[in-house]
């Protein structure tokens, strides 16, 4: 049984101009979202440009997060690689580095069958004691974890939940129905946090939580305190920020948004470019509409 819940932002990974991990800037991001009241932090997910990080960089970022958080909230680590062997190796390293849980997206580039996905996750779960969140993001990976497969995996003791970024509410409702209340369901699509909570979900892993953690935490907590009207109001208020992701190539908007908020995280790794001046001005307007106060 998992007690993971709430708002767990997948953090951006700051890099220096030479491409190396910027540990001081990562600590600033963690302090910023912690001040917003988040219920966990997620290191080296797709938002964190994990695709551009070596295993050693992922573990270094995780160790910094564990040190900065100091047990106040769970620290989740993204440990997916394409092969089962590589993923097991990285997951073991995350366990040794102090992660509270790992999140593992489906293999990408290849297109495994549902039985192959089951065997993949079963092997990883058997190699560690850490709680594991499955991660379904078919728009990025080209691979979809079907609800029936997730229900099979949910029977494995340390597979305790899923982050689903498909945006498919029908699938979400079916996953929650099949897996039961002891299996944590987190939405990864920021536009449907309120509907997910209404369907019995546990929370969200929202990329926009990097920029507006306090707003999204209030959205979650309003629902939990019996005020769904306020929760829905905040969901609608958040929408322009999520829609602003289209102003640049993911995750450029998130990094620029933090930079505008005075939390300097530098640039995304090439080939992703920083925002144009025009796009930056549009993003600044969106932030002001959220009652955030961009600097400069």
Which residues have a catalytic role annotated?
135, 163
What values do phi and psi take at 94, rounded to 5? -65, -40
H-helix segments, 51-159:
55-69, 84-96, 114-127, 138-141, 147-153
Distance from C-alpha of 230 to C-alpha of 227, rounded to nearest angstrom: 6
Q: DSSP readout, 169-208?
A: HHHHHHHHHHH-TTSEEEE--GGGHHHHHHTT--EE--GG
Residues β-bridged to residue 132: 102, 159
d(CA 25, CA 28): 5
Residues placed in the known binding site for pyruvate = 47, 205
Annotated binding site: 47, 205
Q: C-alpha distances in angstroms, 19 versus 15, 52, 265, 273?
A: 5, 10, 12, 14
Q: Which helix (H) or strand (E) holds 224?
A: helix 213-224
Integer Cα distance of 146 and 200 in angstroms:
19
Residue 261, number of CB atoms within 10 A of its CB: 18
123: Cα within 13 Å, side-chain hemisphere: 13
Instruction: Give me 33's structure tokens.
Output: 């979202």
DSSP β-bridge partners for residue 105? 135
């Amino acid at each position: 049984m998992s007690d993971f819940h709430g708002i767990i932002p997948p953090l951006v990974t700051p890099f220096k101009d030479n491409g190396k991990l910027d540990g001081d800037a990562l600590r600033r991001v963690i302090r910023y979202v912690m001040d917003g009241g988040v219920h966990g932090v997620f290191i080296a997910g797709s938002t964190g440009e994990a695709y551009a990080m070596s295993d050693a960089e992922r573990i270094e970022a995780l160790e910094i997060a564990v040190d900065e958080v100091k047990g106040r909230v769970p620290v989740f680590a993204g440990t997916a690689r394409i092969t089962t062997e590589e993923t097991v190796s990285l997951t073991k390293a995350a366990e040794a580095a102090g992660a509270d849980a790992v999140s593992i997206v489906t293999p990408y580039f290849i297109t495994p069958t549902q039985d192959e996905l089951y065997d993949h996750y079963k092997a990883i779960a058997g190699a560690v004691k850490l709680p594991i969140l499955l991660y379904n993001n078919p728009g990025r990976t080209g691979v979809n974890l079907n609800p029936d497969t997730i229900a099979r995996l949910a029977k494995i003791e340390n597979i305790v939940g899923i982050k689903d970024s498909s945006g498919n509410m029908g699938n979400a409702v079916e996953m929650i129905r099949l897996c039961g209340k002891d299996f944590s369901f987190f939405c990864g699509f920021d536009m449907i946090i309120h509907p997910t909570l209404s369907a019995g979900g546990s929370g969200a892993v929202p990329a926009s939580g990097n920029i507006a953690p306090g707003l999204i935490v209030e959205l979650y907590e309003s629902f939990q305190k019996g005020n769904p009207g306020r929760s829905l109001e905040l969901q609608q208020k958040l929408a322009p920020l999520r829609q602003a992701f289209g102003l640049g190539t993911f995750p450029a908007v998130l990094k620029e948004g933090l930079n505008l908020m005075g939390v300097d995280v530098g640039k995304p790794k090439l080939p992703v470019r920083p925002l144009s001046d025009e796009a930056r001005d549009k993003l600044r307007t969106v932030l002001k509409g959220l009652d955030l106060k961009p600097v400069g």
